Chain A
Amino acid sequence: MFKSTERKPFQQQDTAIYQASTSSHLQYPHRLNFYDKPPLFDVTIEEFETCALERLRVLAEIESSAARNRTWEESKTAIRAQAEKHLVLKQNSAKYDDLDGQRRKDHLSHFVLRLAFCRSEDLRRRFVKAESTLFKVRYEDDILTDREAFLNSRNFNTIPVLPDEKKKYESQLYSLYYGKNETERKAAFEREKYFKVKWTRVPDLVEKRRVFLNRGWAYVPSQEQSSIIFGEYENQLEKALELTARLLPRLDEDTRLIPILNNLSQGFIAGSSSEWMGENGEGTCGEEIRAEMIDDMSKRHFPMCMKTLHDRLQRDNHLKHFGRLQYGLFLKVLGLSIEEAVAFWRKSFSRITDDKFNKEYRYNIRHSYGLEGKRANYPAKNCLQIMAPGSGEYGCPYKTYNPDNLQSALLSTYSHQGLKAADLPDIMQLVNANSFHTACTRVFEITHSSCGVKKGDGVNGEHVTHPNQYAAHSRELYKATKGAAESEDVAMGP
């Protein structure tokens, strides 16, 4: 389906795959897309990955909107804002925009994510839900004329209800007709056109008793037509994903794509932590982090697991493979550039020669940044992975340390941030209840009380699910509350 060769000029003969339009000169005459046909143009591997990552950010916002129980209007606002940043898709009236370019990217990114998310039932379900929501937002935002043109370009297999039939069921149809006052309602009902579809295509309308049902047929007024469209969209996407899942093994021959796809779906699985997966993610707080800043940062901002790795690295001037990988990816997502990462590790591994470092470690660091080998964009491990059995000495300290060691480690690590012995029973109670997330969250609250964090506030209202989430929010808090004071100090200094 995708050829990852060098970029070629856009292939003109592919116009047949787009919805036919007589008036438009565009390759993609409509902003809305049912994605019936795969993109048949060539793309570079970078384009393949970056456009998918950007779409993923929008989908992650959709999932998080649902998780936060936002209202439909609040969700739309949040999703629009995310789409404005990562997946611009303008109306036909925006004549000076590169409409085809935007729509091409939309088309391509949708299909890349299909490949990444077709592989398990759970991923398929989540993908369909997120994509349908995105479609709904765009549908509702679409200008009426654009939307009509799109709808006219497709056959939704609806059967028009003829005047005779409408007359026959007038009382049933009218009693379900929604309108303002009685006179307006009557007039509007007279004008209203009805479609017949099998009731299974509009389950949402059936559930709310908003359509007339007659022997399996639902009589849908055109003002409720969107239900048919959304149902159709979900249905088609579900089927297409199942089909893709069956065809996917053929893709295995292209070894460059598989790691990218794995990485994409992993970011999605991690859910809230999908924000923490990219070098340019929001977790970086904007400013550049330099190698020499890490030690200071670890004291203020790192969760126990990463602080432990950092301390061990400084103490032994070495970390074993899995520890390096875990800590290295955490630093990458924290915002450490590849140059600074090489500098940091070179400095930390002070007992080995340049030659040995270059031979044995430099490659691995570049690899973890996706610059060597499979060129995968490896995400940092989240709490679930760190807590998983077999993580051994690099696991979650709240889980693996014995109670005595944990308590003394907590005091020595965090007492300079305000953690007192009196806080320990509270934390240990959570640990004993196997609620390691919550224990870590509690420690975050205690050690950030000087930033105004109170018990129950969590990390921005959430539990700790990812060390990068912990660190990023800690940095944000410091920047917001202490940043001003610190820069003043500097200004007043000599």
Chain B
Amino acid sequence: MASTMDALSPEAMLTFYRRLYPFKSVYGWLNHDHMPTRQWTHREFAFTLAGDVYVRYKSYNNADELKADVCKLNPSRFEIGPVYSARPRDKKTVRQLTPLQRELVFDIDMTDYDPIRTCCSEANICKKCWKWISAAVKVLDESVREHYGYEQLLWVYSGRRGIHLWISDPEALDLTDAQRKAVVGWMNVVVASGQNEGMKKVNLRAGTKALPPPLQAALDTLLPYFTSIVLEEQDCFGSEKGYEALLEFIPDVKVADSLRKTWSADPTKPSASKWLDLKAEVKAKDRSQRAPLMHAMEDIILHYTYPRIDAEVSKHRNHLLKAPFCIHPKTGRVCVPVDPRGIDSFDPERVPTIGQLLGELDEGMVVEGEESSPDSDVQRTSLAPYVEMMNKYATSLMDLKRKAKQDPDTLAW
């Protein structure tokens, strides 16, 4: 059946929602409880329907209601918003609908790396450029845990060329917009400055001082990535345009001129060799002149490897973000959860597509007398390990909530 229909047709989407989409797992993850709480009932869902119709302020009493509505409207995707002061679906009748809670979210997208990546452009992505995402996941995951003390992190592949992070610690859910903005300010090193100007570095250090501790720690994590991605695979400085961008970071005009002279004679000289040239120039300087150049080298490493975060997504509680397990409308891939510890071996091209999953459903025959249920359906497809991961995580959130209820002091710090 599935093999005969177009992978992204409405029929295929409907089959996916009816038989495979893990509504119960998503419910557990958002609700932190078996019984529906405000975290579920007052939660906004938004649907993208055929013809780019966008429906907001939907909310449900339980997971089954969501499933019924999704199957009825068959959206091409749906998004998750904040927990409001009232049920979003009562928007017209309630006096106020204020966003109260929301997972702290981060969005990293390959587009923001376009000015520096050389392997692909625009919507395309390959294993080489995905490494930047790997580096970003490592740094962000570590920082969120070490600096902010958050532990309930869910990483979700966005289905094409990016990744989302959802943080569900109770303290993170309660953050105000101002506090979210502060986290983003702390995290952001590289910010976009207009469409065609590429990227501009900001806010790295105070004056001529050493890097602040969080960036120093990130630098250690990022150094191997800089060598393998920037210097080797992407060969970011292997063209005139590429090395000119590098030279912009050099504060010492003499050093920059000398390097430019050498490199213009051999513009495609490999980036790794050019980096050695720079190192040699820096070493030749006496101590007082060396410091600013060393700083510049650190700045370059951060500029080319530090996570590029889409700040607007994180700053506001009422920003909507695509739900996990949705199908990416262009690639047909499922937005699956990702284990950050295995991020280096994660291959976006091996993420199951809707066509593949429906094919798998067709092949596995339902045993005579056995009812087909979403649980058993999922088990017969390559979606199973991802749903299993989500279930485990949702269970840990519920455990945490139960413990907090029994012993309220453990969280009250």
Contacts and interface: CB of A to CB of B under 8 A. Distances in A.
B181 interface: yes
B183 A212 contact: no
Contact of B147 (A176, A204, A208, A214): A214
Interface stretch (A195-203, A353-361, A413-421, A471-479): A195-203
A200 B171 contact: yes
A203 B209 contact: no
A223 B210 CA distance: 21
A215 B98 contact: no
Contact of B185 (A171, A199, A207, A217): A207
B185 A208 contact: yes
Interface in B156-174: 171
Given A200-B171, A203-B178, A216-B148, A209 B212 contact: yes
B186 interface: yes
B289 interface: no
A430 to B, nearest CB: 32
The winner among A178, A203, A204 for most chain B CB atoms within 10 A is: A203
Given A206-B185, A207-B182, A213 B210 contact: no
B96 interface: yes
B148 A212 contact: no
Contacts of B147: 213-216
B149 interface: yes
The winner among B181, B186, B203, B216 for most chain A CB atoms within 10 A is: B186
Interface in A158-173: 171-172
A215 B142 CA distance: 11
B146 interface: yes
A208 B204 CA distance: 10
Nearest to B143: A213
B206 to A, nearest CB: 8
B149 A207 contact: no
B182 A204 contact: yes
B3 interface: no
A121 interface: yes
B171 A216 contact: yes
A175 interface: yes
A215 B214 contact: no
B182 A206 contact: yes
A175 B181 contact: no
Interface residues of B, number: 29
A243 to B, nearest CB: 15
Contact of B213 (A121, A172, A216): A172
Provide the main secondary structure of the chain B interface: helix
A199 B148 CA distance: 8
Given A209-B186, A213-B147, A200 B213 contact: no
B183 A206 contact: yes
Contacts of B98: 121
The winner among A172, A199, A214 for most chain B CB atoms within 10 A is: A199
Contacts of A171: 213
Interface in B179-208: 179, 181-186, 203, 206
A212 B147 CA distance: 8
A214 B185 CA distance: 17
A212 B171 contact: no
A203 B212 contact: no
A212 B217 CA distance: 12
Nearest to A120: B96
A217 B413 CA distance: 10
Nearest to B181: A207
Contact of B96 (A121, A203, A212): A121
A209 B181 contact: no
Contact of B413 (A121, A198, A203, A206): A198
Contacts of A215: 145-149
A213 B206 CA distance: 17
Interface in B62-117: 96, 98
B8 interface: no
Interface in A176-221: 176, 178, 198-200, 203-204, 206-209, 212-217
B372 to A, nearest CB: 46
B246 interface: no
Contacts of B145: 215
Given A213-B214, A217-B149, 12 more contacts: A171-B213, A175-B211, A178-B206, A198-B171, A198-B413, A203-B179, A203-B181, A203-B182, A207-B181, A207-B184, A208-B185, A216-B147
Interface of B: 96, 98, 145-150, 171, 175, 178-179, 181-186, 203, 206, 209-216, 413
